[in-house]
């Protein structure tokens, strides 16, 4: 049992989280309090939800750089709907998911039909949509959300002492389960891994690669739409200038969590741990009372160390596998 | 004539790009003849283009290996800050020429060090380029912030400022640097043994490994070249703006990827052309400058660059498809 | 050959469409879907001609004595610089000058320099820039001067000898000190622990205010203790929010937070609201009146300090016009549509003291 856990690909990153947490705890014992972890969770679920979308794209060997524009667009729509219409929560979520899904559809079509590399297609779509949103909104903030939505944003479940579950975390868990289910228990999910492993083989085995690819970007869009609503509930307002560059944060989370930019590899558990590491890192640097001028340097070093350690341990694992000549049917999750 | 046609089809990407360039130039020239088609505007574009172009060449070399370099701009500003510190230090004030020379030597040394750092992570440890360079980027920026405390380093020797703002026989000095860089890059990336290896590693790493190429070394060299380009572009920026600061040029990062891809670099590695990239840089320069002069909202300028990228690449794909079809038909007909 | 032709056509379409929209500046035109673009190409070409005609008219206008004034913010698309832009454009209409209000989409000094160079070539009569970095502007301002263009800075000074006038919303020192006075006022005592959440570590104007403020505090309120270095929030509300949550936990003894940049105080206030520490932690900072109302109402933000950005935009255009008409700046002189101005030295115009916004 223990051996199995140690063997898991996610173990290296889990170890990193523990080591880092220990160091911070020594420097400031407040770090270990439950309330702090609740805050870390609430502060990072938005990145986490987006990372699930990115995870699926990365597994398929693609990349989605339209993330900033997509979440900006949906956030603005979410804010406008809240302020100007009497729609309730679920219709709003639905609209946002559909809108962001449509952006994903555009990505998918450009990638499959116009055969643009994902990097280029999503980069272009990002600058076009971001430009349009900022041009029409003039970047102005949307505030004055209805009372019920604000109450919803600060809702906490299972309150016991310092422990509680912010409502946003519930959405995160739902997103995690959906992603897990889709990847592990649907034909589409197996298709994602197949396409990421080798598109030609996937086509030969009978997967409709184009269809799967389009669906992947639509799925990524869905997650962005959901993230937009969740983020609006955290921030209690919409600021269209918030999201430039968020794509890199999200990609880092997924890759730190073991997803490969070359495709074929990646897991929900890893992405969850990746989100946790980034969250703990940001929180820990302040908790450990480290000067702001050093935080970026440490951030860079930790990213490099985390990914390097992961890669080195995987290489060792592979070398061992080859040596013992065990078959390669290792679980992906 | 047949040979001429062959050459033309070999350089079809470049040819199409030149056509796009001429058309953009013509349209914008027609819209604003009295402002766009002036000597001073053309000269100011010649001052603006080099820093962007040099960054883009650095980006292109890494994309050709199948990776990406998110640290091009931060490497440039980081090196510029350290060099600027030396050039503004006490001994340099007393003997500016010596200060500039020492500054340039430091620049070269740092380019090698930063390039090796990137290369070590990506080639030798095997960290994905995207994340490795993101990490080093954050590292360089952090050190730059620490050194400057967020401010700008200014008061560089006037002799150094001349590099960014003077001309020789009417040609801006940044442009001369750019031209030298282009010629060097063309031979280094397209014609040298290293260039051949670079193409092979990018298009098929496994095959190149079997044919005895040291992939790691090739990637390492590409990163050192890229760091050199960053350092040069950083120096040109510093000279042009008479100061160095951590966030100068932050908008060049994604623009450089756009220009590299527009110039025919295959984002998955393998193909790339210095000439194509140079023309693509010129297209982006002309379009942004022209639309600036027209007074178009900057968000709409970003949109048009995005549109050009998607449209050109889509057309490139379909022209590729139809070319292949023709080839197949030709073969069928001849057999 | 077909492909080349199609490339040509699309490019013509894209450029003319974009150009036409920009020239007309009516969003409606832009909504023309791309699929129709093929048919629309001819129309677009017509539009483009119209734009060209407009341009000629504009030039003709300039000969009639209409001045063309370029006002450049640090970046487009953030509420503060949209408000200044509205003021500037309003001034253009009321004062009868042509105002171009445009800037980069990222706060990047390099982009600003490029755009300024393009403006110089497009033949503006005056340039006013809110520099992302003061030092970087020197060479391009020199170019503008050489081209006979009136040069101003606004919002953030370039500290250059080249500018004909420097329009400042407030005196930096006054604002820096005011924020600390406000903090002490809200805390109700002259000692205690406080933290600073700022927009970015390399934002020059924010750093100036912080430096003036901390120097002043060292003298006036020696009991105040800054618990850690200023915390950057990358001008992102979410960052300011999470980092404030972390700050409060890391430094439980915290009694006050000053937020710099128009976004950071909002993120700070939001965290304080969520923690329910409105009464325990004093929050002051720089935020616009409109954006801060919500947080002021329940005391999660205690005092917001800023100025009217639209008036700043208006004043900048007014001063530029006065200079173009050959007037010399004097203390107390009347600026059309604005009123009398306060002059410091030869050419530094101070719009007035900052305004404090509190709960209504």
User: Are A287 and C246 within 8 A, CB to CB?
Assistant: yes
CB of C19 within 8 Å of a chain B CB? The answer is: yes
For residue B69, give the DSSP letter. -
Please name the chains neighbouring A, where neighbouring means 3+ C-beta pairs under 8 angstroms: B, C
| Pair B127, A300: CB distance under 8 Å | no
pLDDT tens per residue across span A125-152: 999 999 999 888 888 888 888 989 988 9
Residue C123 near chain B (CB below 8 Å)? yes
Give the residue-averaged pLDDT of C315-321.
92
Average pLDDT of span C43-64: 42
Q: C246 and A136: CB-CB below 8 Å?
A: no
Closest-CA residue of chain C to B15: C4
pLDDT per position as a tens digit, C293-312: 888 988 899 999 998 889 99
Best of C57, C58, C74, C106 to disrupt the B interface (most B CBs within 10 Å) is C106
Cβ–Cβ below 8 Å for A135 and B310: no
CA C145 to chain B, closest CA, distance in angstroms equals 14
Chain A residues with CB inside 8 Å of C231's CB? 286, 292
pLDDT band at C350 (very low <50, low <70, confident <90, very high): confident
Q: For residues C217 and C203, what is the distance between their CA atoms, to the nearest angstrom?
A: 21
* Cβ pair C291:A35 closer than 8 A: no
A297 — contact with chain C (CB < 8 Å)? Answer: no
How far, in Å, are B96, C177, C190, C197, C239 from residue C220 at the CA level? 43, 10, 9, 21, 31
Cβ neighbours of residue A189 closer than 8 Å, sequence gap 6 or more: A181, A182, A183
Ranking A57-71, B86-100, C163-177 by mean pLDDT, the lowest is B86-100
Mean pLDDT of the residues in chain A: 87
State residue C13's pLDDT score.
58
What pLDDT does A8 receive? 67
Q: Which residues of B touch A135 (CB under 8 A)?
A: 297, 299-300, 303
B303 lies within 8 A of chain A by CB = yes
pLDDT at C4 (0 to 100): 54
**What are C's interface residues with A at a Cβ cutoff of 8 A?**
27, 76-79, 82, 105-106, 201, 228-232, 235-238, 241-243, 245-247, 249-252, 263, 266, 270, 274, 291, 293-294
Mean of the per-residue pLDDT values of chain C: 81
Three-state secondary structure readout of chain A: CHHHHHHCCCHHHHHHHHHHHHHHHHHCHHHHCHHHHHHHHHHHHHHHHHHHHHHHHHHCCCCCCCHHHHHHHHHHHHHHHHHHCCCCHHHHHHHHHHHHHHHHHHHHHHHHCCCCCHHHHHHHHHHHHHHHHHHHHCCCCECCCCHHHHHHHCCEEEEECCEEEEHHHHHHHHHHHHHHHHHHHCHHHHHHHHHHHCHHHHHHHCCCHHHHHHHHHHHHHHHHHHHHHHHHHHHCCECCCCCCCHHHHHHHHHHHCCCCCCCCCCCHHHHHHHHHHHHHHHHHHHHCCCCHHHHHHHHHHHHHHHHHHHHHHHHHHHHHHHHHCCCCCCCCC
Question: What 3-state class would DSSP assign to B168?
Answer: strand
Chain A residues whose CB is inside 8 A of the B266 CB are 117
| Eight-class DSSP state of B302 | H
**Is A201's Cβ below 8 Å from some Cβ in C?**
no
Give the pLDDT confidence score for residue B314 in this predicted structure.
86
- Nearest by CB to C108, from B44, B249, B322: name it: B249
Q: pLDDT value at position A96? A: 96
Q: Looking at the complex, does the CB of residue B196 fall below 8 Å from at least one CB of chain A?
A: no
How far apart CA A156 and CA B29 sit, in angstroms, is 61
Phi-psi sector, B200: left (phi>0), alpha (psi -120 to 50), beta: alpha
C2 pLDDT higher than 60: no
Residue B289 at interface with chain C, using a CB cutoff of 8 Å: yes
Q: Do C65-170+310-357 and C172-306 show the same overall fold?
A: yes
Tell me if C238 and A235 make a contact (CB, 8 A cut-off). Answer: yes
CATH homologous superfamily for the domain C172-306 = Response regulator (3.40.50.2300)
CA–CA distance, B323 with B314 (Å, rounded to integer): 14
**Neighbours, chain B (3 or more CB pairs < 8 A):** A, C
In this complex, which of B125, B131, B310 lies closest to A124 when CB atoms are compared? Answer: B310
| pLDDT at C48 exceeding the cut of 70 | no
Looking at CA atoms only, how far is residue C244 from chain A in angstroms?
10
**pLDDT tens by residue, A94-127:** 999 999 999 999 999 999 998 899 998 999 999 9
Is there a contact between B263 and B241 (Cβ–Cβ < 8 Å)?
A: no
**B216 — contact with chain C (CB < 8 Å)?**
no
Residues 6+ apart with CB under 8 A from B256: B52, B55, B56, B58, B59, B72, B73
Residue A264: which pLDDT band, with cuts at 50, 70 and 90? confident
Report, as an integer, the average pLDDT of C330-342.
82
Residue at A25 is within a domain: no
> Given pLDDT bands bounded at 50, 70 and 90, which one contains residue C5?
low
User: What does the domain layout of chain C look like in residue ranges?
Assistant: 2-61, 65-170+310-357, 172-306
Where exactly are the structural domains of chain B?
A: 50-316
Interface contact A291-C82, CB threshold 8 A? no
The pLDDT averaged over each successive group of 10 residues in chain B (335 residues) is 56 84 88 83 88 94 91 93 88 83 91 94 90 91 88 84 85 92 92 89 84 89 94 91 85 90 87 91 91 85 88 84 82 78
pLDDT of residue C41: 40
Considering only the beta carbons, identify the residue of A136, A235, A282 that sits closest to C237. A235
Q: Do C201 and A35 touch (CB under 8 A)?
A: no
Q: pLDDT at residue A260 above 90?
A: no
Per the CB < 8 A criterion, the answer to whether A57 and A118 are in contact is yes
Question: How much is the average pLDDT of A245-272?
Answer: 88
Average pLDDT, integer, range C262-280: 90
- Portion of chain A with pLDDT greater than 70, in percent: 93
Quick check: A286 and C247 CB within 8 A?
yes
Number of separate domains in chain A = 1
Q: State whether residue B34 is helix, strand or coil.
A: helix
Burial of B266 (0-12, 13-18, 19+ CB in 10 A): middle
Q: Which of residues 64-83 of B touch A (CB under 8 A)?
A: 70
Residues of A in contact with C293 (CB under 8 A): 143
**Average pLDDT of the segment spanning A223-249:** 89
User: What pLDDT score was predicted for residue C15?
Assistant: 59
A282 and chain C: CB distance < 8 Å anywhere? yes
Q: What is the ipTM of this complex?
A: 0.85
Residue A54 lies in a domain: yes
Query: Among 3.40.50.2300, 3.40.190.10, 3.10.450.50, 3.40.50.1820, what is the CATH number of C65-170+310-357?
Result: 3.40.50.2300
How many pairs of residues across B and C have Cβ atoms under 8 Å apart?
193
Please check the confidence at residue C31 and state whether its pLDDT lies above 50.
no
Residue range of the domain that includes A255: 47-312
Residue B23: how many CA atoms within 13 Å on its side-chain side? 20
DSSP-assigned letter for residue B245:
-
Residue C289 tokens, joined: 């009146």
Mean pLDDT of A45-64: 94
Q: Which subunits count as partners of chain C given 3+ CB pairs below 8 Å?
A: A, B
Q: Chain B partners of A295 at a C-beta cutoff of 8 Å?
A: 142
Does the pLDDT at position C288 exceed 80?
yes
Supply the DSSP symbol for B172: E
Interface of B with A in 38-57 (CB under 8 A): none
Distances from the Cα of C56 to the Cαs of A91, A121, A312, B294, C62, in angstroms?
A: 51, 38, 66, 12, 10
Mean of the pLDDT values across residues A62-69?
94
pLDDT above 60: residue C244: yes
> Is the CB of residue C225 less than 8 Å away from at least one CB of chain B?
no
**Cβ proximity of C121 and B40 under 8 Å:** yes
What pLDDT is stored for residue B157 in this prediction? 85
Taken in order A298, A302, A305, A311, the sign of the CA dihedral is: negative
Chain B residues inside the 8 Å CB shell of C200? 150, 247
- Is residue C201 predicted with pLDDT exceeding 90? no
Interface test with B, best of A270, A292, A300, A313 (most B CBs within 10 A): A300
CB within 8 Å: A43 and C242? yes
Sign of the C-alpha dihedral computed for residues B293, B296, B302 and B307 taken in this order: negative
Return the residue of B nearest to A125 by Cα. B306
Most C CBs within 10 Å: which of B24, B143, B280, B294, as the mutation test of the C interface? B294
Q: Which of residues 119-148 of B touch C (CB under 8 A)?
A: 145, 148
The torsion angles phi and psi of C223, rounded to 5 degrees, stand at -75, -15
Residue A326: what pLDDT?
Answer: 43
Distance CA A224, CA B128 (A): 24
Whole-angstrom Cα distance, residue A19 to residue A279?
Answer: 14
From the list B138, B268, B302, the residue facing A299 with the nearest CB is: B138
B315 vs C38, higher pLDDT = B315
Dig out the tokens for A9 from the structure: 């690909």
Q: What is the mean pLDDT of residues A278-294?
A: 87
Q: What is the 3-state secondary structure (H, E, C) of chain C?
A: CHHHHHHHHHHHHHHHHHHHHHHHCCHHHHCCCHHHHHHHHHHHHHHHHHHHHHHHHHHHHHHHCCCEEEEECCCCCCHHHHHHHHHHHHHHHHHCCEEEECCCCCCCHHHHHHHHHHHHHHCCCEEEECCCCCHHHHHHHHHHHHCCCEEEEECCCCCCCCCCEEEECCCHHHHHHHHHHHHHHHHCCCEEEEEEEECCCCCHHHHHHHHHHHHHHHHHCCEEEECCCCEECCCCHHHHHHHHHHHHHHCCCEEEEEECCCCHHHHHHHHHHHHCCCCCCEEEECCCHHHHHHHHHCCCCCEEEECCHHHHHHHHHHHHHHHHCCCCCCCCCEECCCEECEEECCCEEECCCCEEECCC
User: CB count, 10 Å around CB of B43?
Assistant: 17
Count, residues in chain A: 333
């Amino acid at each position: 049992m223990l051996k199995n856990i140690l063997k898991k690909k996610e173990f290296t990153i889990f170890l990193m989280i523990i080591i880092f947490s220990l160091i911070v705890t020594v420097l400031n014992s407040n770090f270990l309090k439950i309330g702090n972890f609740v805050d870390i969770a609430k502060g990072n679920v938005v990145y986490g939800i987006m990372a699930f979308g990115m995870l699926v794209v990365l597994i398929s060997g693609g990349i989605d750089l339209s993330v900033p524009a997509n979440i900006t667009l949906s956030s603005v729509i979410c804010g406008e709907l809240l302020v100007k219409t009497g729609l309730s929560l679920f219709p709003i979520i639905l609209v946002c998911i559909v809108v962001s899904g449509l952006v994903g559809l555009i990505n998918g079509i450009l990638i499959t039909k116009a055969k643009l590399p994902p990097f280029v297609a999503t980069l272009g779509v990002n600058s076009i949509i971001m430009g349009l949103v900022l041009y029409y909104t003039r970047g102005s903030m949307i505030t004055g959300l209805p009372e019920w939505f604000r109450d919803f944003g600060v809702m906490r479940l299972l309150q016991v002492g310092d422990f509680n579950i912010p409502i946003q975390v519930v959405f995160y868990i739902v997103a995690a389960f959906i992603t897990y289910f889709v990847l592990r228990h649907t034909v589409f999910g197996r298709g994602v891994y197949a396409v990421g492993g080798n598109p030609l083989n996937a086509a030969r085995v009978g997967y409709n690669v184009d269809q799967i690819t389009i669906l992947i970007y639509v799925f990524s869009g869905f997650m962005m739409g959901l993230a937009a609503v969740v983020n609006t509930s955290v921030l209690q307002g919409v600021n269209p200038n918030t999201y430039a560059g968020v794509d890199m944060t999200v990609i880092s989370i997924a890759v730190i969590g073991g997803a490969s930019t070359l495709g074929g590899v990646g897991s929900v558990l890893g992405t969850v741990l990746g989100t946790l590491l980034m969250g703990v890192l940001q929180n820990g640097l302040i908790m450990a009372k480290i000067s702001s001028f050093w935080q970026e340097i440490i951030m860079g070093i930790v990213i490099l160390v985390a990914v390097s350690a992961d890669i080195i341990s995987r290489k060792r694992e592979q070398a061992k596998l080859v040596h013992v000549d065990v078959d390669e049917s290792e679980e992906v999750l | 004539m047949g040979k001429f046609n062959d050459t033309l089809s070999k350089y079809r990407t470049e040819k199409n790009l030149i056509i796009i360039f001429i058309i953009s130039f013509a349209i914008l020239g027609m819209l604003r003849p009295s402002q766009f088609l002036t000597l001073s505007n053309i000269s100011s574009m010649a001052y603006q283009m080099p820093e962007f172009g040099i960054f883009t060449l650095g980006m292109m070399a890494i994309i050709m290996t199948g990776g990406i370099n998110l640290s091009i701009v931060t490497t440039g500003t980081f090196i510029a800050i350290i060099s600027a510190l030396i050039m503004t230090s006490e001994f340099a004030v007393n003997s500016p020429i010596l200060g500039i020379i020492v500054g340039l030597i430091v620049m070269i040394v740092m380019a090698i060090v930063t390039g090796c750092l990137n290369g070590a992570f990506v080639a030798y440890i095997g960290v994905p380029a995207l994340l490795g360079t993101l990490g080093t980027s954050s590292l360089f920026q952090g050190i730059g912030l620490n050194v400057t405390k967020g401010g700008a380093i200014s008061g560089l020797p006037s002799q150094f400022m001349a590099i960014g703002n003077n001309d020789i026989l009417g040609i801006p000095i940044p442009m001369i640097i750019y031209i030298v860089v282009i010629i060097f890059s063309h031979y280094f990336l397209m014609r040298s043994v290293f260039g051949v290896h670079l193409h092979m590693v990018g298009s098929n790493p496994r095959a190149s490994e079997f044919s005895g190429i040291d992939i790691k070394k090739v990637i390492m060299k590409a990163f050192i070249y890229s760091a050199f380009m960053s350092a040069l572009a950083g120096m040109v920026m510093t000279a042009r703006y008479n100061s160095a600061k951590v966030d100068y040029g932050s908008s060049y990062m994604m623009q450089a990827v756009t220009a590299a891809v527009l110039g025919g670099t295959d984002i998955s590695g393998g193909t790339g052309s210095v000439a194509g990239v140079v023309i693509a840089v010129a297209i982006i320069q002309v379009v942004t400058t022209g639309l600036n002069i027209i007074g178009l909202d900057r968000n709409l300028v970003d949109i048009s660059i995005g549109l050009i990228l998607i449209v050109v690449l889509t057309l490139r794909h379909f022209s590729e498809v139809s070319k292949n079809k023709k080839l197949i038909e030709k073969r069928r007909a001849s057999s | 050959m077909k492909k080349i032709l199609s490339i040509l056509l699309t490019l013509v379409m894209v450029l003319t469409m974009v150009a036409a929209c920009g020239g007309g500046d009516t969003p409606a035109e832009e909504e023309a879907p791309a699929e129709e673009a093929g048919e629309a190409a001819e129309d677009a070409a017509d539009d483009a001609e119209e734009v060209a005609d407009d341009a000629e008219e504009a030039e003709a206008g300039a000969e009639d004595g209409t001045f063309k004034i370029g006002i450049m913010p640090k970046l487009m698309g953030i509420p503060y610089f949209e408000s200044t832009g509205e003021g500037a454009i309003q001034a253009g209409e009321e004062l009868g000058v042509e105002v171009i209000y445009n800037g980069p989409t990222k706060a990047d000094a390099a982009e600003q320099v490029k755009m300024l160079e393009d403006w110089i070539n497009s033949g503006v009569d005056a340039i006013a820039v809110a520099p992302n970095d003061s030092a970087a502007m020197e060479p391009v301002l020199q170019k503008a001067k050489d081209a006979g263009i009136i040069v101003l800075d606004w919002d953030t000074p370039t500290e250059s000898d080249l500018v004909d006038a420097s329009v400042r919303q407030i005196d930096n020192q006054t604002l820096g000190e005011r924020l600390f006075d406000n903090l002490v006022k809200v805390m109700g005592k002259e000692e205690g622990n406080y933290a600073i959440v700022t927009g970015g570590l390399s934002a020059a104007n924010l750093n100036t205010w912080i430096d003036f403020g901390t120097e002043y505090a060292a003298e006036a309120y020696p009991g105040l203790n800054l618990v850690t270095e200023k915390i950057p929030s990358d001008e992102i509300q979410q960052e300011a929010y999470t980092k404030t949550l972390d700050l409060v936990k890391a430094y439980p003894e915290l009694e006050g937070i000053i937020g710099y940049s128009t976004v950071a105080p909002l993120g700070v206030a939001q965290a304080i609201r969520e923690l329910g520490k409105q009464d325990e932690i004093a929050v002051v900072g720089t935020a616009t009146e409109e954006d801060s109302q919500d947080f002021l109402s329940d005391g999660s933000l205690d005092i917001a300090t800023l100025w009217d950005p639209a008036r700043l935009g208006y004043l900048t255009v007014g001063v530029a016009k006065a200079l173009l008409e050959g007037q010399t700046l004097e203390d107390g002189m009347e600026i059309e549509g604005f009123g009398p101005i306060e002059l410091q030295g030869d050419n530094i115009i101070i719009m007035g003291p900052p305004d404090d916004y509190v709960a209504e």
